[in-house]
């Protein structure tokens, strides 16, 4: 299935849209350590309700900030010394191949995977990202909330080294009390933390480099790239797709919007010129977290009215009554085990997630509701959508509404056929519909198109397809959700990084074994070492014997 995609030109993606109260934040504007104590301020500027709990430290004297920065630097260097150097690259090179591993996506996932491979001694790893330096991932571009939606205590890219974790970073710069006072991690603090992590672990990407096409060549992969505007082909043994929520089919756009010109609508996955919405009437389709965040930012930028349409009868948020899940869903304390569950359980987990409404953080709801111009419509959707006199006209129940602009907060879809770089190979990739037949009444179209992944996140071939190379493509994006029982790419999915790293290392290790070299080693004559260390004892005994 192909469809017209709402893709934003890369040049637009490169320009972050600062929110009110946020200073535009680029990593090349400042050192990573210097002034980092103040970096948490930007993400909080516009949230009056959060200002108290998150107590920004922008008034801290420069000397204190500099001291904190030095402490962080010293602490990190000490921890890295104790952890020991990264092991030497043990992977036997394959002649004529450019890379052992290419990771597509320098967001939090790709960065963490690159770090994991480094700590495993896997060399010749290339991390690429189409974004400008400092703009990889979503946190400074299309994420618009003030704070992360996930709890502040989750582990992230640091894997087994807590000193590289966000808590150590934040506490060292701002003090333990400041961390305790946080509700959740401020979004821009998280972005700054990731920049710092990239810097101290040496995992910055090769930016402005986009994967266009994957072309198999035996078990190798020829990657067609656009690197700084130049087309080139590079070969790799392993490929990791850490290309984010939109990386397996793109944003989910309602049909009725796709028919309209793109200057009257967008999706929350694109950068939005909110300042152009001042005085305008905006429709928002969907009532998830990103929809609420976009509505709030539009209102903060002076939108006259924002009308949000939710086809469900309620908006879910944490704290609502919810039945507890069945015990066979997987144990919450071992989330990395969900892959091991039987297919039927993984399928039902997906069904229950698909049927449930994703909950919205209360502060995201409040941020929009605080404006008089905000209207929420339950059990509502738009129909008969058309364009007239530059306005979007739509029916909502019995009424007709006119909007200057419409924003779709309708999430992402899985459709490997719509992912440009998979165009030549997607037909060979096994989907859940190829490997699993749901019980009666449990059919689900959205689930059936998910790739059925192997234990190392690798694609598997459809039956009858000779596509052995697929075992070398590891899918670490939203399409892995069904196989791994969680949205892959989210911070909670960090628990899966070691599994992926181990799988890649294992494959390269097995491939690196050289039986001929082993035989040469075994057959080589033993050359005795210099007897100098025990020479005296030999001489003594010889003298006695004489
Ligand atoms: C608005 C929003 C808010 C979220 N909030 C939270 C949250 O609070 N907590 C949480 O746990 N999760 C959250 N998530 C989910 C998840 O954590 C984020 O999507 C996160 O950014 C995923 O990280 P990633 O590295 O996997 O992908 P991304 O951050 O999306 O990074 C993917 C990278 O791949 C690059 N790329 C894509 N295609 C190509 C290509 N062909 N060639 C080269 N480069 C390419 C992109 O430029 C991008 O830099 C949120 C998601 C969204 C959309």
Q: What is the mean pLDDT of residues 62-85?
A: 93
- Going by alpha carbons, the residue nearest to atom 22 of ligand 1 is 489
Q: Is the CB of 475 under 6 A from ligand 1?
A: no
345 SS3 class: helix
Give the range among 22-26, 143-147, 300-304, 335-339 with minimum mean pLDDT: 22-26
Atom of ligand 1 nearest to the CA of 136: 49
Kindly tell me if the per-residue pLDDT of 482 is higher than 60.
yes
Please give the pLDDT value at position 32: 35
More confident call, 156 vs 21: 156
Contacts of 525 by beta carbon, 8 Å cutoff, 6+ apart: none
- Going by alpha carbons, the residue nearest to atom 35 of ligand 1 is 105
DSSP state of 487: -
Q: Could you tell me the two tokens for 413?
A: 């879809």
In angstroms, rounded to a whole number, what is the distance separating the alpha carbons of residues 358 and 139? 20
pLDDT in tens, 14-47: 233 333 334 333 333 233 333 333 333 222 223 3
- Going by alpha carbons, the residue nearest to atom 48 of ligand 1 is 137
Q: Which residues sit opposite 209 in a β-bridge?
A: 227
Question: Model-level pTM greater than 0.95?
Answer: no
- Cβ pair 250, 479 in contact under 8 A: no
Q: Is the CB of 143 under 6 A from ligand 1?
A: yes
DSSP state of 130: S
Atom of ligand 1 nearest to the CA of 209: 43
Using CA atoms, how far residue 285 sits from 312, 397, 463, 537, in Å, is 12, 15, 40, 89
- Going by alpha carbons, the residue nearest to atom 14 of ligand 1 is 490
Q: What is the mean pLDDT of residues 101-125?
A: 98
pLDDT in tens, 367-424: 999 999 999 999 999 999 999 999 999 999 999 999 999 999 999 999 999 999 999 9
Half-sphere exposure of 163 (CA within 13 A, CB side): 15
Please give the pLDDT value at position 4: 31
In angstroms, rounded to a whole number, what is the distance separating the alpha carbons of residues 448 and 459? 15
First vs last Cα of the chain: how many Å apart? 93
pLDDT band at 332 (very low <50, low <70, confident <90, very high): confident
In angstroms, rounded to a whole number, what is the distance separating the alpha carbons of residues 90 and 87? 8
Q: How many CB atoms lie within 10 A of CB 243?
A: 25
Contacts of 34 by beta carbon, 8 Å cutoff, 6+ apart: 66, 69
Using CA atoms, how far residue 50 sits from 152, 292, 300, in Å, is 15, 17, 16
Atom of ligand 1 nearest to the CA of 131: 47
The average confidence (pLDDT) of the chain is 88
Q: Is the CB of 157 under 6 A from ligand 1?
A: no
Using alpha carbons only, what angle is made at residue 528 by residues 524 and 534, rounded to the nearest 5 degrees? 165
Kindly tell me if the per-residue pLDDT of 55 is higher than 80.
no
Give me Rg for the CA atoms of the chain: 27
Largest CA distance in the chain: 118
Half-sphere exposure of 4 (CA within 13 A, CB side): 10
């Amino acid at each position: 299935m192909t469809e017209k995609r709402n893709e934003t030109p890369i040049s637009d993606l490169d320009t972050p849209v600062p929110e009110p109260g946020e200073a535009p934040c680029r990593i090349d504007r400042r050192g990573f350590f210097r002034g980092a104590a103040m970096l948490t301020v930007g993400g909080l500027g516009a949230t009056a309700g959060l200002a108290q709990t998150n107590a920004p430290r922008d008034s801290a004297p420069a000397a204190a900030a500099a001291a904190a920065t030095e402490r962080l630097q010293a602490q990190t260097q000490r921890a890295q010394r104790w952890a020991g150097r990264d092991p030497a690259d043990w992977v036997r090179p394959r002649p004529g191949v450019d890379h052992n591993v290419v990771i597509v996506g320098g967001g939090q996932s790709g960065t963490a995977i690159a770090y994991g491979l480094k700590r495993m001694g896997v060399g010749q790893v290339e991390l690429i990202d189409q974004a400008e330096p400092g703009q990889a991932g979503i946190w400074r571009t299309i994420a618009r909330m003030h704070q992360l939606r996930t709890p502040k205590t989750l582990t992230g890219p640091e894997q087994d080294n807590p000193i590289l974790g966000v808590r150590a970073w934040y506490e060292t710069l701002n003090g333990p009390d400041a961390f305790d006072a946080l509700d959740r991690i401020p979004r821009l603090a998280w972005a700054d933390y990731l920049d710092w992590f990239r810097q101290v672990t040496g995992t910055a990407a090769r930016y402005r480099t986009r994967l266009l096409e994957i072309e198999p060549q035996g078990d190798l992969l020829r990657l067609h790239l656009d690197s700084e505007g130049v087309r080139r082909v590079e070969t790799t043994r392993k490929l990791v797709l850490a290309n984010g929520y939109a990386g397996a089919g793109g944003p989910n756009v309602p049909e009725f919007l796709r028919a309209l010109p793109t200057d009257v609508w967008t999706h929350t996955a694109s950068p939005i010129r909110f300042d152009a919405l001042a005085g305008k009437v905006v429709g928002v389709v969907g009532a998830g977290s990103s929809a609420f965040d976009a509505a709030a930012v539009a209102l903060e930028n002076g939108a006259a009215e924002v009308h949000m349409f939710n086809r469900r009868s309620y908006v879910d948020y944490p704290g609502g009554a919810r039945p507890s899940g069945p015990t066979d869903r997987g144990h919450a304390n071992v989330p990395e085990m969900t892959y091991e569950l039987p297919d039927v359980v993984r399928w039902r987990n997906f069904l229950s997630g698909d049927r449930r409404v994703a909950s919205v953080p209360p502060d995201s709801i409040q941020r929009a509701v605080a404006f008089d111009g905000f209207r929420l419509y339950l059990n509502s959707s738009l129909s008969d959508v058309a364009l007239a006199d530059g306005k979007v006209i739509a029916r909502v129940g019995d009424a007709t509404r006119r909007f200057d602009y419409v924003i779709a907060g309708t999430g992402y879809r899985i459709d490997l056929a719509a992912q440009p770089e998979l165009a030549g190979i997607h037909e060979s990739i096994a989907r859940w519909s190829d490997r699993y037949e749901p019980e009666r009444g449990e059919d689900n179209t959205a689930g059936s198109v998910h790739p059925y992944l192997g234990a190392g996140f690798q694609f598997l071939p459809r039956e009858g397809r000779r596509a052995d190379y697929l075992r070398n493509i590891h899918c670490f994006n939203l399409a892995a959700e069904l196989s791994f029982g969680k949205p892959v790419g989210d911070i909670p999915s960090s628990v899966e990084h070691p599994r992926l790293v181990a799988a890649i290392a294992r494959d390269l290790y097995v491939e690196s074994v050289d039986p001929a070299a082993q035989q040469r080693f075994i057959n080589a004559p033993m050359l005795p070492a210099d007897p100098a260390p025990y020479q005296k004892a030999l001489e003594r005994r010889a003298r006695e014997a004489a």
